[in-house]
Amino acid sequence: MKIVRFIFFIGHIGIALLLAATLLNAYVPPKTFPWFNLLSLGFPVLMIAYILLTLFWIISWKKRAFVFLLFGLMFFKPIIRWINYTPQKNETPDLKIISFNAKYGFSGKNKIEKFVDDQNADVVLLQEYGTNKKYHFNGMKEGPQSYVITIFTKHKIVEHKQLIKSDYIYNNAYVSHTDIEIRGKMYRFINVYLQPFKFKKNMVKLNGNSEEDEQKVKDVVKRLIPTFKMHQEQIIAIRKSIDESPYPVILAGDFNSVPNSYEYYHLLEGLQDAFVEAGRGSGTSFHDYKFPIRIDYIFSSPSVKPLSYKVDRSVKLSDHFPVIATFKTEK
């Protein structure tokens, strides 16, 4: 039993160090050292293993349990970026936003239109909307289209600018900002679709053959690392739009990045994560793999207060669930 406990102890320390390394994504860019960003993908599994081992030490009545408990407090904030529970807020919202990767409307344009119409939102940001599909949402007008992203709103569009546009070969990201006047006040909405990883299920599904599985892991890493570095470049244009905005900002979309990643930390700077402020349950929004992946977000300036955040798991029109948030704006 002593040998088992010793192995568990060494493993626990190793997991703690790996978890701590994910915190370095706030400081170390992927171009300098991409492996910290890679670790952020495994945060849920690492955290579950850490908690189970901590429980083992508690049940075993070992003093080291208190050390691991105290160390684990470092990860409270990272945890609630994945799974959270906030009390219901009693204030009345005056702004409702939907962000949804529609997977090019393969599940049916009419179904997407019905879902959006039923929500009665103020602003809808779509990614992978399907350039050959013309959506019609009740009472909403569409902003200028791009190949992958578009925005709809009930309110007045004042200005629109494409920040990042795909070149179809190296870069497949799209980002735009749209300044919208809502009840006499201006807001900047930034619709984000960062560089996708372009994985298919068979590329990441292990089949038990050690040689084939090893090659698959290597191939996955070969795709991940360059994409992380591309994200670092793409964030620059987004940060410029946020930092230079004369209006409160709502940043939403498919970031193709998980919480605790370099992308998350640097896009969140100066903003607030609506899920962290007002979410309940799991933030997982991409459901095509049997693994918790949160890559769809709605961030806002401090003056735009999140009151609710929902990942609508009843809507299976894509490999992403739509995310819906309500806000209270400053008068």
* DSSP of 17-81: HHHHHHGGGGT--TTT-THHHHHHHTHHHHHHHHHHHHHHHHHTT-THHHHHHHHHGGGHHHHHT
CA 142 → CA 130, 182, 196, 308, distances in Å? Answer: 14, 15, 24, 25
18 and 122 part of one domain: no
**Whole-model pTM?**
0.92
38 and 134 part of one domain: no
| Structure tokens that stand for 63 in this block | 């003093």
Last residue of a domain, one of 80, 109, 131: 80
**pLDDT score for 3:** 86
24 and 142 part of one domain: no
61 and 94 part of one domain: no
pLDDT band, residue 133 (cuts 50/70/90) = confident
Residues contacting residue 321 through CB under 8 Å, at least 6 positions apart: 284, 285, 286, 287, 296, 311, 312, 313, 315
261 and 305 part of one domain: yes
171 and 265 part of one domain: yes
Instruction: Give the chain's count of helices (H) and strands (E).
Output: 10, 14
Last residue of a domain, one of 65, 80, 95: 80
127 and 172 part of one domain: yes
What is the rounded average pLDDT of the residues 52-78? Answer: 92
The larger pLDDT score, comparing residue 249 to residue 202, is at 249
| Structure tokens that stand for 133 in this block | 């599909």
Q: What is the mean pLDDT of the chain?
A: 90
**112, exposed or middle or buried, with CB in 10 Å at 0-12, 13-18, 19+?**
buried
155 and 252 part of one domain: yes
177 and 214 part of one domain: yes
Residue 190: CATH number of its domain = 3.60.10.10
Residues 116, 139 contacting (CB under 8 angstroms): no
Amino acid at 23: L
Q: How many domains does the chain have?
A: 2
* DSSP of 192-256: EEPPP----HHHH---S-HHHHHHHHHHHHHHHHHHHHHHHHHHHHHHHHHHT-SS-EEEEEE-S
Q: Strand, coil or helix: what is 115? A: helix
The larger pLDDT score, comparing residue 213 to residue 126, is at 126
162 and 181 part of one domain: yes
The larger pLDDT score, comparing residue 330 to residue 67, is at 67
Residues contacting residue 78 through CB under 8 Å, at least 6 positions apart: 22, 23, 43, 47, 259, 260
pLDDT digits (tens, 9 = 90+) for 243-278: 999 999 999 999 999 999 999 999 999 999 999 999
Q: Look up the domain containing 65 and give its range.
A: 2-80
Last residue of a domain, one of 60, 80, 100: 80
**pLDDT score for 105:** 83
The helix-helix angle for 64-72 and 43-59 (nearest 10°) equals: 150
144 and 291 part of one domain: yes
What is the rounded average pLDDT of the residues 70-91? Answer: 93
127 and 216 part of one domain: yes
